[in-house]
Amino acid sequence: MRKLFTDIILMAALGGLLGCQTQPNSDMIELNDNWTFRQAGKGTWLDARVPGTVHTDLMRHNKIPDPYFRMQEKEVQWVDKTDWEYSCRFQVAEEFLEFDAVTLECLGLDTYADVYLNDKLVILADNFFVGWEKEVKKHLKPGENHLRIFFHSPITIGLQALAKHKYGLPATNDQSERGGLGDKLVSVFLRKPGYHFGWDWGPRLVTSGIYRPIRLQGWNKARLTDVYFHQDSLTDIKAQLSARCEVESLVDHEALIEIFQGDTLLAMQEVAMLEGKNKFHIPLEIYDPQLWWTHDLGKPHLYNLTARLSYQRKPINALTRKIGLRTIKIVQTPDKKGSSFYFELNGKPIFAKGANYIPNDMFIPRVGPEKYQNLIRSTVDANMNMLRIWGGGFYENDIFYDLCNEAGVLVWQDFMFACSMYPGDPEFLRNVEEEAVYNVKRLRNHPCMAIWCGNNEIDVAWSQYNEFMGWGWKQQYTMDQRRVIWNTYDTIFHKLLPTVVGAHHPGMFYWPSSPFNIPGKHANSHTPNGDIHYWGVWHAEHPFSAYYENIGRFMSEYGFQSFPELKTVKTYALPEDWNIESPVMAAHQRSGIGNLRIRSYMQQHYRVPKDFAQFLYVGQLLQAEGIKMAIEAHRASMPYCMGSLYWQINDVWPVASWSGMDYYQRWKAMHYFIKKAFERTITAALVKDGKVRISVISDELGAREGELRLRLYDFAGKKLWKKDTVIQMPENSALAALELPIAEMCDLATAKKVFLQVDLYVGRQRVFRNPVYLTNAKDLELPQQVQIEKRVLPSDEGYLIRLSANQLVKNVFLDFGDEVEGFFTDNYFDLLPGEMVHIVFRPEKKGVELKAEDLQVLSLGDTVQGVIQ
């Protein structure tokens, strides 16, 4: 028995899961149909879906309720304390057994599973994050065969490991009490996604099941099990690579390995195979290389390269990889304040614009290609160039990385450790090492991969080198226990993982933890090195303006919550639940302070509506304005700060959270605001201390001359003041362009009735428009009787919407009602007086007929009638 290091590529028919292509002179039997399942040792066998989970199979058979609805999550907590078994009967033809070898490949078992083939134990699985393989030809027979998988309760396994360890370990987000375990935190002892045990944005649903495909692979003589195209050097003239091939052979023999780009032979090498595992490095060159770029800098060009293995000049199998030619590194150059921290792609410094990413569902097999495609499309549409795969989820399916490769989006990849300390026994460390090797090798060919990071927030949470920092973890233990716990941490994150990366992904940057300062010191909100997670806004109730005062070299986490829109709330709550303090709304808010924290911030910035739907809408505006200010602050600090990844882009279930898109991938106001805040050239305005400070930020790789045109208007569109300023915009940096006293433009009473229109022109082209308000939204005297003209016209993309108004309409929210799902190219925007805007609406379903009277319009001015005093 051994971990599976084999070719893993995308098969569209498998719904975006990991798959493999059939190779010449080999054959495959897919084992994803005809499954049944039951509670182990009792009950009726019921049909099961593979890939799938116990929970989703039970839901299909109405054995458990939907845990996403209301508070039904608590009714399914018994599932993880039970053993389950899955059974599949399948046919094997006699010809299939003529292959020299047949391997059983289980690409994803969740998590502690005994695999029996015709009643012979062939695999003992103990890690969610790896695939498993076993040579099984001797156990197969012509005709009907039987595969059975016994899944042990992960909770039972975890409790046994906790008892053996003698004392518990920190796991801040393990919702053990919700799961009926009291204070027994078992998640840290299991190599299983941490978010399954709960998080401050997700439920506790500890799954079991077959979450990726299972197959039998027949092969003769030898087979390529892996190929890594390592880039040795890259110039404008040529790229020099080495194809690092791994071959499993059944006998000693001579063979030929050839490397192709399409039909073009790039390299070939005669090799001498020995029985067992073999490794070969085959040099090759690509002339006039086309580079892989992020989408904002160029084209993400990809090459299809194939390694083919032949015996006696007959091909016996091949592996194909899509690769990109690029150089990427993190630049840490000492300066007067500390040390830089930025990504350099093909020799060009880039400001990383993006978000943190969590799994798309608690039940991973439910996420198909369409959801992945829409997420990456939304990433690109919002002008992002990086996503961080956070360490409490799982190493994503290949389709995620394939889409990032194609779209030109970089990936910050955490290893799967987050907000916990872990045991250090030899068996656990062995498991971690094999997991790391498996996933580094699986992902290393993807050009989107930009960094490997050891964990999420553990370095700063424990804070070994400062007794007065951290989350209060270390103080709970004796000094001897502390030494053991920290030694384990040091072993995993400063020795084991960087060694694996260095050995199997040479040249790729490894970062021990996020955030991380320098060895011997821990990150804080003012650290002039490394990356920062700043949570003073939200957790410490700092004002939004604090985003300008807490800036690091790379902002890898920060965030603010909002509720999803009412359409989403209706999927999990009944009308009687529509109050943010109701038990159901509280159950769909996993940050204990969350709902009231939103209200508290809202009271500072807006008039708080009594109407529930309007409260949700204003909450989204609150989140959007806060994160927009954060992004502007980070970008205005270029090149000191060179990265801004907010928390978080997506959700695992319908919930109030920090996400920019809800569980159903409906864009919140924040995602629309981020789209504009991440444009290549923007203006940012900070209103503070009676002044307006305007910065101009440009990601362009070249200096330009521009002009700022400032116009002060009242809400009816009357121009009250103007100023034009010629500026010199530096290359890929920020400029503090203007600082204006508000008194120069208007008095304090007038400030409540006007907006400052900031337009940036390059030549005759307006490249950015930014309406700026001189006081808090709650103090604005917004027009109440506004005439909005709206037209809805069929177009090639769906419907073209034209809007205009005689007065300002602030934060226009457009909707066609609950029955019509679709996407607006812009929303939550300010409709300026006398301005005509054009927006495209793309209905989800074809053939939908829409008219102007179907279009619902909500604005901030509509919410000020019924407010909480």
User: In this structure, are 734 and 859 located in the same domain?
Assistant: no
Task: Give per-residue pLDDT as tens, 381-409.
Answer: 999 999 999 999 999 999 999 999 999 99
User: In this structure, are 90 and 185 located in the same domain?
Assistant: yes
Question: Cα(363)–Cα(171) distance, rounded to whole angstroms?
Answer: 22
What's at 502, amino acid-wise?
G
pLDDT of residue 869: 53
pLDDT of residue 867: 67
Average pLDDT over residues 84-93: 97
Q: Residue 403: in which H helix or E strand, if any?
A: helix 398-407
Say if 583 falls within a structural domain. yes
Calculate the average pLDDT of the chain.
94
Q: Which of 214, 181, 296 is nearest to 19 (CA)?
A: 214
Average pLDDT over residues 136-151: 98
User: In this structure, are 233 and 252 located in the same domain?
Assistant: yes
pLDDT of residue 249: 96
pLDDT category of residue 20 using cuts at 50, 70 and 90: very low
Among 21-25, 303-307, 438-442, 621-625, the range scoring the smallest mean pLDDT is 21-25
Say if 869 falls within a structural domain. no
Say if 628 falls within a structural domain. yes
Letter string b/e over residues 665-676, b meaning 16 or more CB atoms within 10 A of that residue's CB: bebbbbbbbbbb
Helix (H, G, I), strand (E, B) or coil at 557: strand
Residues ≥6 apart with Cβ < 8 Å to 132: 1, 3, 4, 105, 106, 109, 115, 123, 125
User: In this structure, are 104 and 135 located in the same domain?
Assistant: yes
pLDDT of residue 701: 86
Question: Cα(697)–Cα(57) distance, rounded to whole angstroms?
Answer: 51
Average pLDDT over residues 326-349: 97
User: In this structure, are 457 and 571 located in the same domain?
Assistant: yes
- Which residues does residue 394 pair with via DSSP β-bridges, in sequence order? none
Q: State both tokens at 739.
A: 């600082």
CA 422 to chain centroid, in Å, comes to 24
User: In this structure, are 160 and 287 located in the same domain?
Assistant: no
Of 7 and 373, more confident: 373
pLDDT category of residue 868 using cuts at 50, 70 and 90: low
User: In this structure, are 771 and 800 located in the same domain?
Assistant: no
User: In this structure, are 293 and 201 located in the same domain?
Assistant: no
| Domain edge (last residue) among 323, 345, 379 | 323
Per the CB < 8 A criterion, the answer to whether 292 and 285 are in contact is no
Residue 115 sits in a domain of what CATH number?
Answer: 2.60.120.260
Question: Cα(775)–Cα(620) distance, rounded to whole angstroms?
Answer: 19
pLDDT of residue 730: 87
pLDDT of residue 313: 87
Q: Provide the pairing of β-strand 788-795 with 2-3.
A: unpaired
**Residue 840: CA count within 13 A, CB half-sphere:** 7
Question: How many other C-beta atoms can be found within 10 angstroms of the C-beta atom of residue 604?
Answer: 12
Say if 393 falls within a structural domain. yes
**Residue-number span of the structural domain to which 754 is assigned:** 681-779
Question: Cα(498)–Cα(502) distance, rounded to whole angstroms?
Answer: 6
pLDDT category of residue 142 using cuts at 50, 70 and 90: very high
Say if 868 falls within a structural domain. no
Q: Which of 631, 605, 608, 615 is nearest to 579 (CA)?
A: 615
| Domain edge (last residue) among 618, 653, 677 | 677
User: In this structure, are 797 and 724 located in the same domain?
Assistant: no
pLDDT of residue 847: 86
Q: Which of 387, 397, 454, 499 is nearest to 15 (CA)?
A: 397
Question: Cα(482)–Cα(473) distance, rounded to whole angstroms?
Answer: 10
Rg (CA), the chain: 29
Average pLDDT over residues 340-357: 97
Residue 753 sits in a domain of what CATH number?
Answer: 2.60.40.10
Say if 184 falls within a structural domain. yes
| Domain edge (last residue) among 216, 233, 257 | 216
Q: Residue 3: in which H helix or E strand, if any?
A: strand 2-3
Task: Give per-residue pLDDT as tens, 722-745.
Answer: 999 999 998 999 999 999 999 999
Task: Give per-residue pLDDT as tens, 165-202.
Answer: 999 999 999 999 999 999 999 999 999 999 999 999 99
Greatest distance between any 2 Cα atoms in the chain = 90
Question: Cα(803)–Cα(788) distance, rounded to whole angstroms?
Answer: 7
Structural domains of the chain, count = 5
Q: Which of 404, 374, 372 is nearest to 387 (CA)?
A: 404
Of 106 and 13, more confident: 106
Question: Cα(721)–Cα(521) distance, rounded to whole angstroms?
Answer: 51
User: In this structure, are 773 and 801 located in the same domain?
Assistant: no
Average pLDDT over residues 7-34: 52
Say if 139 falls within a structural domain. yes
Say if 758 falls within a structural domain. yes
Per the CB < 8 A criterion, the answer to whether 578 and 666 are in contact is no
User: In this structure, are 273 and 200 located in the same domain?
Assistant: no
Per the CB < 8 A criterion, the answer to whether 50 and 37 are in contact is no
Average pLDDT over residues 493-514: 98
Q: Does 3 have pLDDT greater than 70? A: no
User: In this structure, are 370 and 431 located in the same domain?
Assistant: yes
Average pLDDT over residues 12-41: 65
Q: Does 688 have pLDDT greater than 60? A: yes
Q: Residue 676: in which H helix or E strand, if any?
A: helix 669-677
